[in-house]
Each structure stands twice: as structure tokens, then as C-alpha cells.
Structure 1
Amino acid sequence: MTFDLASALAPFLDPVAAGIVVGGTVVATMLRTPVRDLADGMAALARLPRRRFDAGGLLDQVGAFTRIARRHGVMALDRSVITDPDVSAAVFAIIDGQGPDDVAVMLRDARRLRTERQLAAVEMWSGAAEVAPAMGMIGTLIGLVAMFTRMTDPSAIGAAMAVALLATLYGAILANLVCSPIAVRLRRQVRVEAVERARLEAPLVALAARARPKDLARDMAHAA
């Protein structure tokens, strides 16, 4: 005797209930979320399978920059290839003569803005997890109303009852097995990345402090 998965799942499939729950959740999420945050929330799905952010490689790169600056001067870093936007902005600010305080503020602002934008994506999925059960309840009420209005037609009662029961099921599944787990994983990634990026501040500020005395001496020489 073979197990027929399609036949087993058939009683739990109802396009009307799914349309009410999924469609209602999507519409409600779109209405309560700015367009940019919606785009960020969808783009954040690409980060889910990635490994946790680790600043170790960037710290090694900053250490190499420090050695290069010590031997050849900070201007030698102008030819460096830097893929991380925060490190790139900090290094080029150092090359332009920005001091350690300015570099520290730049890194903190960049980290804060990135964290806020990523948390906005998390809030989108958390909001969807909150809305989905409510949409399931709405689908249940719609199904019950349809069932009571068709009491004289026994053949239509079953379909209306299926909508009423399955809408609640779909809302619970969408909230607890899809949206909420996505929000939790994204929030964990945001927290880890914020902590890891904080490790980059000290070595980059130290690099700026190392380059700054040379810049001051150069400025004083030009002024004289």
C-alpha cells in the first residue's frame, strides 16, 4: 500500500482561505510599511542562508593597512581594494586627513544607520507575523457567514466550513512557521553584525591616529 501525499493533503488545501489569509497579510503589511522598508524586507531574505557576519577577515585587512601605512605612509592605501563599504569609507577618510574622532563618528553613524535599516526589515516580518492570525480570524468569520447564509443548500455548507476552519490554520502557519522565524533569524543576524562591526572601530581609529601626526606636521610645514 503506497502513501499518496496529494490525497492526504487535499482536505487541507483551500484556495479561498489561502487567498484571504495570504492576500490580506500582504495587503496589510504593505499598508503599514514604507516602500523602502518593504524592499529591504524582501531583499533581507537573501541573507537568511548566509553564514553569520564575522569581522575577522576585515580586521586582518585593517592590520595589513596599518603595516602598509607604517612602512610607506597612509597615501599608499589609496590603491587598496576594499569591498566592505564601512572600512572603505573610513580608510579613504583617513587618506583625506580625517582625524581619529571623525573616523570614530563616521563608523558609529554607519553602523547605526545599517542597524536601523536592517531592523526595519525585521519589523516588516514581525508585523506580518502579527497580522496573519488576524487575517485567519477574518477568513473564519467570512466562512461562517457564508455557511449560515447557505444553510438551505447542504452542498455549499462544506465549502464554506472549509474556508472557516482552514483560514485559522493558514493564519497560524503563516505567522508561526514562516514570518516569525524569518524575523527571529534576521534579528539575530542584525545583532551579531552590529557587535562584529563594533570591533572594527578601534583598529581604524588607531590607524587614523597614526596617520594624523604626519598630516599635522605637513600642514604646519605648508603654513610656514
Structure 2
Amino acid sequence: MHISLSALFGFILGIGLFASAVFFNTDNYLMFFSLSSLLMVIGGTIAAAMISYDGRYVALAFKEILSTMVSSKVNPVKLYEDVGELIDWSKIIRTQGLVKLERIIELPDEETSFLNQSFVFLLSGYKGAHLYNLLQHSRESIYESNMRPAKVLLTMASTAPAFGMVGTLVGLIIMLNSMEGDPSKIGGGLAVALLTTLYGVLMAQLVLKPAARKLEHKQDLEAQRNLILTEGIVLLSEGATPLVIQDTMNSYLHPNFQFRKVTKH
């Protein structure tokens, strides 16, 4: 697990800008804290998400919030390693066959389910267009499943400001009802009422939306990797040479991270 420095910097910068605005304009910092307002926004947002989606997807959405500061597992180095692995597999298949490959290859438990499924399809003897269609369906299914938490996060991002406004309206009603004809109470009461809107906007713009976009970014990178693996697995099934696999895979990679090892037909 690697911390994303850019995400961490962005979060600290956002919090820092808000804290600086408070620090340079008032000495009463506690006026920006209201437990009831915070509970209104958080509770309402979670309630709306639970009503709209299955609980397991809401739980996954919260897990993704915690993973916002974690870098994606897919990067140019990882893709480079994938190409090298596919080339090694092709050498084993051409010299010793699929049975030998099945015996010596052990996929790690943390590996993506797509690669595990691809390996199963390959060992089952599927080839060419049939194998490509199977892998394409598997790839699309995995992508759609992994994107559901992002939809939950975007829904929560849209409802958080709404519940902030609900809290503001509740605060205004309470304030107006308790004024008893004293206009001097408007300022303090209005400030407390507006805190829920502030919390809702901050939660949506600094937590929920960035988490959703980060998840989308990670899944787009994962989808690109799965596409590369699809092409490689199909070539393996057709008995392509290591050099053909190398050149085909390199066409998907950045020039600085292409596999340049010289191989023979």
C-alpha cells in the first residue's frame, strides 16, 4: 500500500485554506463547530444512501473513502511487469505446453479476479475470438461491479448539501420561534443555522466527490490493464511467439516503459 502524495497534499491544502479563513478572521473558533449540525449532515447523507442502494455497496463506498489517499496499484511499472510475465508464459507454453504452465504458475491471492479468470479460460482451451468475447464480458462485468461504490459516493455528494440546507431550515425555524421579538438574536442564531450548509458543502466537495473521482480513475487504469491482459491471453491461446506478444503489448505502453528485452521467434 502506497500513500498518494498528491491526494494527501490536496486534502491538506483544502483543509488548510478553510482553517486559514477561520483563523485570520475570528478568534471564536468554536463557533464553527456544532455537533447537532454535523450529525444532521452525516446522518441524513448515510440515510439517503442506505435507502437508495444495498447496504453492501454503501459499506464499500465508505471503504473507498478511506482508500482515497492510497495510490492505484496499476502504474507503468506494473504494466511493464505484466508484459514480462506474459512473455515468460508464452515461452513455457511453446516449449512445455499448457499443462506445465498450470503446474508452475501460482497466482497470488491479492491478484485481480480478472487475471485469475483469464488464466482459467486459457487452461480450459478457449482460443481466438471465443476467448476474446469471454474475457471482454468478464472485463466489463468487473468494471461495472467495481464502479457501483462510485455511484454511491456521487449520490452522497449530491445529498450532503441538501441535508445541510435541511439543517439550516430547521435551525432557522427554531431561531425564529425562540426570538420572542428580540432582533438581536438573529445574528447568532443564523450563524448556527448556516453551519449545516457549510458542513454539507465541505463534505461533498472535499471528501465524497474526490473519493468518487479517485475510484473512477483507479477503475479506468484497471480497465486499461485488463484490456492489455486480454490481448496477451488471446495471443497466448493462439500460440503466438514471445516477440509477437512483446511487440503487441508494447503498443499499449508508454515508450519509456516498453519491454525491450530481445526475444526470438
Both structures adopt the same fold (TM-score exceeding 0.5):
yes
1:11 maps to 31
2:107 maps to 82
2:201 matches 1:189: no
Shift of 1:22: 1.1
Q: Which residues of 2 match residues 68-217 of structure 1 at below 5 A?
A: 68-79=92-103, 80-83=105-108, 84=111, 85-152=113-180, 160-210=189-239
Shift of 1:47: 4.2
Shift of 1:100: 2.5
2: CA distance, partners of 1:46 / 1:21: 19
2:8 maps to none
Using structure 1 for the length normalisation, give the TM-score: 0.82
1:50 maps to 71
Using structure 2 for the length normalisation, give the TM-score: 0.70
Kept in 2: contact 1:133–1:168 (CA 8 A): yes
The 1:131/1:193 distance shift into structure 2, 3 A limit, reads: same
1:66 maps to 90
2:58 maps to 38
Q: Partner of 1:82: helix, strand, or coil?
A: coil
Query: Structure 1: any 5+ residue segments left out of the alignment?
Result: 212-224
Cα shift readout 1:4-24 (whole Å, capped 9, x = no counterpart)? x8x753110001111111111
Kept in 1: contact 2:161–2:200 (CA 8 A): yes
Cα shift readout 1:86-137 (whole Å, capped 9, x = no counterpart)? 2222223222222233321222122111211122111111111100110011
Q: Partner of 1:200: helix, strand, or coil?
A: helix
1:219 maps to none
Kept in 2: contact 1:143–1:162 (CA 8 A): no
Q: Which of 5, 28, 43 is the aligned partner of 1:23?
A: 43
Kept in 1: contact 2:72–2:218 (CA 8 A): no
The 1:39/1:107 distance shift into structure 2, 3 A limit, reads: farther
Q: One-letter code of the match for 1:164?
A: A
Across the aligned residues of Structure 1 and Structure 2, the Cα RMSD in angstroms comes to: 2.3
Kept in 2: contact 1:14–1:162 (CA 8 A): no
Query: Structure 2: any 5+ residue segments left out of the alignment?
Result: 1-22, 241-265
Larger radius of gyration: 1
**Higher mean Cα deviation, 160-169 or 149-158?**
149-158
2: CA distance, partners of 1:167 / 1:146: 14
The 1:17/1:97 distance shift into structure 2, 3 A limit, reads: same
2: CA distance, partners of 1:24 / 1:172: 14
Identity among equivalent pairs (%): 27
Kept in 2: contact 1:16–1:163 (CA 8 A): no
Kept in 2: contact 1:150–1:157 (CA 8 A): no
Aligned residues: 206
2:5 maps to none
